[in-house]
């Protein structure tokens, strides 16, 4: 067997061990070593050279990145999640002909969808969805995310919040927690548009805060333009809608006249 | 295993990898991105800021790779400026030898950028613009690569454009074909370098290289030096060559002829003076018997003298013969440089080869109404142009009574026309004009009009070679108070002393100007301009001030043209003056401003000038200014005649007739003598314009374009000739267009059909006299006598081979094409007679040719027995045709070549077909297809057979001048008829 592959395999088993005992610091260190080692394999994307060990290499690389994604969820690092997922994606998209599908594929894709939902990147969410084959939509993990998105769009926020109880995979919990905040932001945005002001109690209930203190903190942090007085929250109307842009009539007239003049000169 | 073509579907993985903290991963991602950028650039473009930040990260050790990737992405996005700046950042990673679109595009961009920075820094000499050293490095890398790969022309072109003379020098010196490279560079500098100073710099650099060669090409060096205006160096070279071998002397003569062709009088004069001082020094040193102390000789010539002394190799008895030979050569070369030799030879050629068709003139004369003086003087003018330089004035002599109908200014024109006919007749000129000239002392018998005309005629005869006549003209100017005579004298002086900037003459003419007489003042203005052509002296300011003072429009017009002439060819130097004149309130001065633009930027195709002219052509309020602006385009563009029709095509459809007229003349001027098809197509509709003066302009322009092309070269020439005839014969045609048609007939057959209008000499320099002549010619719009200035633009289309004695030996060469293509046009047949004779039979063209020739022969037979057997053949052939009544015989196929005999007519379009035969007695010093060519005699021991031995000029006689003895038809012997068809077997 290729010594490089052996080295990676050994390192990977150490990583998995550390990962299993939730020793995240060690895992992260090992992971970055693994990634560097992976760049030495020419069979991996984007070059896809057909080396004799290509299948093994691809498989182990995919495995490593899948673990990396899960690890990033565990350490609650969204940037790392996105990075690792992007690097993992070619293994799902472009290697179907070389290696068999991974059992982790749909859970991770679903996880990614959920992340996009959490980050409120709806456009990208749908882009990703479009890229999936039709039968993938049947998968519980994907379905979960799709349903969440639908509820989210409908404004059925209670359904979104209650869905936390029915996660298809234990890694989803982290994102479901985050989703609550996204929902809150949405609610805040809607309230701002819908009302001129709202009493503190109502606002507290609406934005799902248990205490006034939390509400105040939220407002100073996220919406400094709101104002609290007389027991009410005043939503500063978003700046007066700008008057529709002035038609540059003078300029247009001048231009037309000069065209006419030029035409007259030449013809 | 998987399919071979597995590709990633997205670069997002790699882009994500860029965010990884580990540097190895970033590097890996970058390297992969670099190879995939051509596919994924749309995806990468969103992450460009990330890569840019990598480039800016000082810690990152592969910054250049990042820059390269960014540069490529920008390239695909079409942001070439950003792309270039990052490519510069990529340093050595940017591969100049890469054969990709990316590399090519960026290299071109880099060159452009570099060249534009260089040229900007040249213009703004004060503050040096920051030059990116990396850019410079790339360009240098590229130039070095071109030189290494042997793409010398490319390298030369680039270094010229980038103003890197050091690299240019390097490229040239590496090149195997040195002379080829140098002449390529000379061409390059004339065609593509628009900045005058820089062009001089290039030429100076070239001359430097030339001088280092073991066998320098003196012809080219001297051309360069002439452009640079360094007569001393040219004089030194000529002096050296003259004291060398016989071949060297021939070369010196050739150089002299080439220099003369460029018509730079002042320059030639300095060369001559230089030769004089050189010979003085040489003779002082070369006499070993009396070693006089040479303290008097100038130290500047020391180096040169040393060279001269070596050649007479010391031995006493050879010194004398060498001395004699040298002195002989010196007189010859001075003769050439003074222009007399070439003028003399040209005169002989034009006289002996004159083929003008008097019948055309006769038709015109008969068709015209008696009282129409415009057409009358146009006819006289047309005759003058038709016989320009031939000294043939038969038509005038035959029609003395008709001629006498010219009165007042028409008389002035008629008299000055003689000057055109006798142009270049330097020796006899004054004698010829004597009957008309003002008689000194005695009370003037003749009318002032003919006296003035005669002075003007003297100027035309001596144009640009007025050494001998200047004094006489000045005296005449002093002795008269008639403004008509002053008018003629001012023009004459201006012509004779063209471009000499003679202070005394200038003062004389200025005094005339200050009399503030309209008629004389106009001529004075033009005369001052002619005198100061191309000097850019501050006299222009003086003239401009007076133009503002005076009330007479004529004077203002004359002055503004004069001012324009002073800045002839000065390009950027004239910008202030141009600005001043084009901003003036007086339309006449703006009109002069247009001429200033035209002449300052003559033949440069300078974009700025074209732009300005086009602007005035469409925006000025005065029709005169607009007309002139369009017309001026012709002058600016004459070095690229193919461009002109395209540029003025829109203007030629203008609603404004003045603009259309200008467009016609612009094409006429810039495409003169080319027979360019586009030009003819543009002019054709204008010849039937609704406005009479547009027709006039178009007809004249058409004639200028078609001069010396015949019907078999372009069938439209025949159509045009018939159209001219129709216009002239048409009773209802407007006078204006009739006059145009008459002048056009003259121009079409100018100079006995042996001259063309040529604004550039064969060595691609502009011909000062010709350009100035055409510029003043265009003034005929206001003043008909100025029409004669067109004669200055005529240059003979001849190959004249000369031996070392500057005599014309018998020499044959080949024109490798059908003779009919460049033949003289057929003489017009007298219509009344021909119509009755040969109506019924269908006539083949060769038959018709033979027949008309036979007819001519038959006419001449009445006078003299036919001595030429060919004409016998032809006439028998004709009679057989008539008797047989059938044309079964196939016409003899035309030969595909033609042997020409020295001196021969070689029209410009024919030049590329000229071949010199091997193994003859003579060998040309320079392989030029036309012009004066010195011939090296390979068998000097045998006796030479000469043609054109005597000056034919002596045979000429003027209408009123005392009869000059006619002798010697030897010159005529050269002029043979075209070969008749070969004898044939007739079988039925």
Contact A97 B2 (CB under 8 A): yes
Residue to mutate among A46, A123, A260, with most B CBs inside 10 A, is A46
Could you tell me if A164 lies within 8 Å of chain B, comparing CB atoms? no
Could you tell me if B621 lies within 8 Å of chain A, comparing CB atoms? no
Dihedral angle, C-alpha B825, B826, B832, B835, nearest 10 ° = -120
Tell me which residue in B16, B21, B24 faces A82 most closely, judged by beta carbons.
Answer: B16
Interface of A with B in 1-40 (CB under 8 A): 32, 35-36, 39
Neighbours of A39 (CB within 10 A): 17
Omega of the bond prior to A46 within 30 degrees of 0, cis? yes
Q: Determine contact, residues B253/B805, Cβ cutoff 8 Å.
A: no
Could you tell me if B614 lies within 8 Å of chain A, comparing CB atoms? no
Return the pLDDT at B951: 45
Return the pLDDT at B556: 94
Could you tell me if B619 lies within 8 Å of chain A, comparing CB atoms? yes
- Give the count of Cβ contacts less than 8 A between chain A and B: 78
Return the pLDDT at B489: 93
Neighbours of B770 (CB within 10 A): 22
Determine which of A196-205, B311-320, B946-955 has the lowest per-residue pLDDT on average. Answer: B311-320
Q: Determine contact, residues B554/B561, Cβ cutoff 8 Å.
A: no
Omega of the bond prior to B723 within 30 degrees of 0, cis? no
Output the CA–CA distances (angstroms, integers) from residue B580 to B124, B573, B584, B626, B912, in the order listed: 22, 13, 6, 17, 45
**What pTM did the predictor assign?**
0.69
Return the pLDDT at B287: 52
Return the pLDDT at B832: 47
CA atoms of B128 and B125, how far apart (whole Å): 7
What lies within 8 Å, CB to CB, of B582 at 6+ separation is B590, B593, B594, B596, B597, B612, B616
* pLDDT, average across residues B866-872: 41
Residue with more model confidence, B887 or B798: B798
Packing angle, helices B692-706 and B735-748, rounded to 10: 0
Contact B6 A95 (CB under 8 A): yes
Could you tell me if B19 lies within 8 Å of chain A, comparing CB atoms? yes
Interface of A with B in 166-185 (CB under 8 A): none
Could you tell me if A59 lies within 8 Å of chain B, comparing CB atoms? no
Maximum average pLDDT range among B689-693, B908-912, B938-942: B689-693
Return the pLDDT at B319: 54
Place of tokens 């004149």: B581
Return the pLDDT at B960: 36
Residue with more model confidence, B118 or B880: B118
Q: Which own/partner contact pairs does A193-202 have at CB distance under 8 Å and 24+ positions apart?
A: A193/A238, A195/A235, A196/A234, A196/A235, A196/A237, A197/A232, A197/A233, A197/A234, A197/A235, A198/A232, A198/A233, A198/A235, A199/A231, A199/A232, A199/A233, A200/A228, A200/A231, A200/A232, A200/A233
**pLDDT tens string B240-253:** 888 888 888 888 88
In angstroms, the separation between the Cα of residue B607 and the nearest Cα of chain A is 20
**Tokens standing for residue A2:** 């290729």
Residue to mutate among A37, A87, A262, with most B CBs inside 10 A, is A87
**pLDDT tens string B800-820:** 888 888 888 888 888 888 888
What 3-state DSSP class applies to B934?
A: strand
Residue to mutate among A64, A97, A265, A267, with most B CBs inside 10 A, is A265
Tell me which residue in B13, B22, B654 faces A87 most closely, judged by beta carbons.
Answer: B13
What residues does B933 pair with on adjacent strands? Answer: B801
Tell me which residue in B3, B17, B654 faces A87 most closely, judged by beta carbons.
Answer: B17
pLDDT band at B968 (very low <50, low <70, confident <90, very high): very low
Q: What is the DSSP letter of B766?
A: B
Could you tell me if A123 lies within 8 Å of chain B, comparing CB atoms? no
Contact B1 A48 (CB under 8 A): no
pLDDT band at B744 (very low <50, low <70, confident <90, very high): very high
**Tokens standing for residue B49:** 């800021």
> In B, which residues are within 8 Å of A262 by CB distance?
618
CA atoms of B173 and B181, how far apart (whole Å): 9
pLDDT at B327 over 60: yes
pLDDT at B726 over 60: yes
Contact B7 A265 (CB under 8 A): no
Output the CA–CA distances (angstroms, integers) from residue B187 to A3, B169, B206, in the order listed: 67, 16, 12
pLDDT at A256 over 90: yes
CA atoms of B934 and B809, how far apart (whole Å): 10
E-only strand ranges, B411-556: none
pLDDT at B563 over 90: yes
* pLDDT, average across residues B546-563: 93
- Percent of chain B, pLDDT > 90? 25
CA atoms of B593 and B612, how far apart (whole Å): 11
pLDDT band at B237 (very low <50, low <70, confident <90, very high): confident
Could you tell me if A47 lies within 8 Å of chain B, comparing CB atoms? yes
Return the pLDDT at B975: 36
Could you tell me if A84 lies within 8 Å of chain B, comparing CB atoms? yes
**pLDDT tens string A7-61:** 888 888 888 888 888 888 888 888 888 888 888 777 777 777 777 777 888 888 8
Output the CA–CA distances (angstroms, integers) from residue B979 to B715, B755, B851, B873, in the order listed: 23, 23, 13, 11
A82 to chain B: closest CA residue = B16
Contact A94 B20 (CB under 8 A): no
**pLDDT tens string B27-42:** 888 888 888 888 888 8
Return the pLDDT at B966: 30
Contact B36 A266 (CB under 8 A): no
B2 to chain A: closest CA residue = A98
Tell me which residue in A85, A88, A265 faces B619 most closely, judged by beta carbons.
Answer: A265
- Closest listed residue to residue B239, CA positions, set B329, B342, B340: B329
Could you tell me if A49 lies within 8 Å of chain B, comparing CB atoms? no
CA atoms of B274 and B238, how far apart (whole Å): 10
**pLDDT tens string B477-510:** 888 888 899 999 999 999 998 888 889 999 999 9
């Amino acid at each position: 067997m290729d010594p490089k592959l052996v080295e990676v395999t050994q390192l990977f088993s150490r990583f998995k061990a550390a990962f299993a005992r939730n020793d995240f610091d060690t895992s992260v260190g090992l992971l970055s070593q693994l990634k560097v080692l992976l760049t030495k394999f020419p069979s991996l994307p984007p070059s896809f050279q057909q080396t004799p060990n290509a299948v093994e290499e691809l498989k182990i690389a995919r495995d490593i990145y899948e673990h990396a994604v899960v690890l990033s969820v565990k350490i609650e690092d969204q940037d790392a999640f996105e990075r690792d997922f992007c690097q993992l994606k070619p293994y799902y998209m472009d290697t179907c002909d070389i290696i068999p599908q991974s059992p982790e594929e749909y859970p991770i894709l679903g996880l990614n969808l959920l992340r996009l939902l959490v980050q409120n990147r709806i456009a990208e969410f749908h882009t990703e969805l479009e890229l999936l084959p039709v039968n993938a939509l049947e998968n519980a993990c994907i379905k979960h995310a799709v349903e969440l998105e639908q509820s989210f769009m409908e404004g059925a926020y209670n359904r979104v919040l209650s869905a936390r109880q029915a996660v298809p995979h234990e890694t989803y919990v982290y994102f479901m927690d985050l989703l609550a905040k996204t929902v809150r932001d949405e609610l805040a945005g809607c309230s701002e548009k819908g009302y001129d002001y709202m009493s503190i109690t109502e606002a507290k209930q609406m934005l799902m805060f248990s205490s006034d203190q939390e509400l105040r903190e939220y407002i100073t942090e996220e919406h400094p333009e709101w104002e609290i007085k007389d027991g009410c929250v005043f939503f500063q109307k978003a700046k007066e809608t700008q008057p529709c842009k002035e038609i540059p009539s003078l300029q247009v007239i001048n231009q037309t006249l000069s065209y006419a003049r030029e035409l007259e000169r030449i013809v | 295993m998987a399919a071979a073509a597995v590709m990633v579907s997205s670069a997002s993985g790699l882009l994500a990898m860029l965010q990884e903290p580990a540097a190895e991963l970033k590097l890996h991602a970058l390297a992969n991105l670099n190879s995939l950028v051509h596919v994924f650039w749309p995806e990468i473009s969103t992450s460009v800021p990330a890569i840019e930040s990598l480039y800016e990260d000082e810690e990152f050790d592969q910054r250049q790779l990042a820059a390269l990737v960014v540069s490529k992405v920008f390239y695909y996005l079409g942001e070439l400026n950003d792309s270039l700046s990052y490519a510069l950042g990529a340093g050595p990673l940017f591969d100049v030898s890469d054969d990709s679109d990316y590399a090519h595009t960026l290299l071109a961009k880099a060159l452009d950028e570099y060249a534009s920075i260089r040229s900007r820094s040249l213009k703004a000499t004060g503050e040096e613009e920051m030059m990116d050293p990396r850019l410079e490095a790339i360009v240098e890398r590229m130039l070095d690569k071109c030189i290494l790969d042997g793409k010398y022309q490319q390298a030369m072109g680039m270094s010229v454009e980038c103003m890197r003379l050091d690299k240019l020098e390097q490229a040239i010196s590496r090149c195997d074909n040195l002379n080829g490279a140098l002449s390529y560079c000379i061409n390059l500098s004339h065609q593509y370098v628009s900045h005058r100073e820089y062009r001089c710099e290039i030429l100076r650099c070239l001359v430097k290289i030339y001088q280092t060669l073991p066998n320098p090409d003196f012809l080219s060096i001297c051309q360069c030096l002439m452009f640079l205006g360094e007569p001393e160096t040219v004089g030194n070279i000529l002096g050296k060559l003259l004291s060398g071998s016989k071949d060297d002397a021939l070369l010196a003569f050739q150089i002299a002829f080439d220099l003369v062709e460029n018509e730079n009088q002042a320059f030639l004069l300095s060369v001559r003076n230089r030769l004089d001082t050189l010979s003085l020094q040489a003779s002082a040193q070369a006499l070993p018997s009396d070693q006089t102390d040479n303290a008097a000789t100038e130290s500047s010539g020391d180096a040169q003298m040393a060279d001269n002394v070596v050649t007479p190799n010391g031995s006493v008895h050879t010194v004398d013969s060498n001395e004699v030979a040298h002195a002989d050569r010196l007189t010859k070369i001075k003769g050439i440089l003074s222009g007399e030799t070439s003028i003399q030879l040209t005169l002989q050629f034009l006289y002996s080869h004159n083929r003008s068709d008097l019948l055309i003139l006769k038709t015109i004369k008969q068709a015209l109404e008696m009282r129409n003086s415009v057409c009358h003087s146009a006819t006289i003018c047309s005759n003058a142009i038709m016989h320009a330089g031939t000294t043939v004035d038969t038509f005038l002599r035959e029609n003395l009574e008709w001629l006498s109908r010219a009165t007042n200014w028409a008389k002035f024109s008629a008299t000055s026309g003689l000057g055109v006919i006798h142009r270049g007749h330097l020796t006899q000129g004054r004698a010829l004009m004597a009957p008309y000239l003002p008689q000194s002392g005695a009370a003037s018998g003749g009318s002032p009009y003919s006296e003035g005309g005669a002075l003007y005629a003297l100027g035309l005869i001596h144009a640009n070679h007025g050494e001998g006549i200047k004094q006489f003209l000045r005296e005449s100017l002093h002795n008269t108070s008639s403004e008509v005579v002053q008018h003629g004298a001012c023009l004459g002086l201006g012509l004779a002393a063209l471009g000499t900037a003679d202070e005394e003459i200038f003062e004389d003419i200025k005094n005339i100007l200050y009399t503030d007489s309209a008629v004389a003042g106009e001529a004075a203005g033009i005369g001052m301009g002619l005198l100061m052509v191309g000097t850019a002296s501050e006299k222009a300011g003086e003239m401009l001030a007076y133009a503002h003072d005076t009330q007479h429009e004529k004077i203002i017009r004359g002055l503004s043209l004069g001012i324009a002439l002073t800045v002839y060819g000065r390009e950027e130097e004239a910008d202030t003056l141009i600005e001043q004149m084009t901003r003036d309130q007086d339309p006449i001065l703006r009109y002069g401003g247009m001429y200033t633009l035209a002449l300052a930027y003559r033949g440069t195709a300078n974009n700025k000038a074209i732009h300005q002219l086009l602007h005035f052509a469409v925006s000025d309020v005065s029709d005169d200014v607009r007309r002139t602006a369009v017309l001026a385009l012709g002058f600016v563009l004459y070095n690229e005649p193919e461009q002109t029709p395209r540029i003025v095509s829109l203007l030629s459809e203008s609603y404004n007739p003045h603009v259309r007229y200008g467009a016609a003349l612009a094409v006429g001027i810039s495409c003169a003598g080319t027979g360019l098809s586009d030009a003819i197509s543009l002019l054709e509709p204008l010849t039937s314009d609704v406005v009479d003066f547009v027709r006039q302009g178009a007809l004249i322009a058409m004639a200028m374009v078609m001069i010396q092309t015949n019907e078999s070269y372009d069938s439209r020439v025949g159509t045009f000739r018939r159209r001219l005839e129709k216009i002239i014969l048409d009773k209802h045609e407007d006078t204006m267009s009739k006059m145009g048609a008459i002048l056009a007939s003259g121009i079409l057959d100018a100079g006995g059909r042996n001259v063309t209008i040529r604004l550039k000499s064969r060595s691609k320099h502009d011909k000062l006299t010709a350009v100035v002549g055409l510029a003043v010619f265009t003034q005929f719009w206001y003043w008909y006598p100025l029409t004669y200035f067109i004669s200055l633009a005529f240059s003979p289309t001849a190959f004249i081979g000369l031996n070392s004695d500057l005599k014309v030996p018998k020499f044959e060469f080949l024109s490798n094409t059908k003779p009919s293509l460049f033949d003289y046009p057929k003489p017009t047949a007298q219509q009344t007679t021909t119509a009755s004779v040969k109506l019924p039979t269908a006539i083949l063209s060769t038959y018709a040719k033979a027949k008309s020739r036979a007819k001519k022969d038959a006419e001449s037979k009445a006078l003299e027995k036919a001595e030429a057997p060919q004409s016998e053949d032809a006439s028998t052939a004709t009679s057989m045709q008539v008797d047989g009544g059938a044309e079964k015989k196939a016409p003899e196929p035309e030969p595909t070549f033609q042997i020409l005999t020295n001196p021969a007519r070689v029209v410009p379009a024919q030049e590329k077909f000229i071949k010199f035969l091997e193994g003859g007695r003579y060998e040309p010093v320079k392989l030029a297809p036309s012009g004066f060519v010195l011939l090296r005699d390979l068998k000097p021991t045998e006796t030479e057979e000469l043609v054109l031995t005597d000056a034919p000029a002596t045979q000429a006689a003027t209408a009123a001048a005392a009869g000059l003895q006619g002798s010697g038809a030897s010159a005529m012997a050269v002029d043979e008829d075209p070969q008749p068809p070969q004898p044939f077997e007739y079988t039925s």
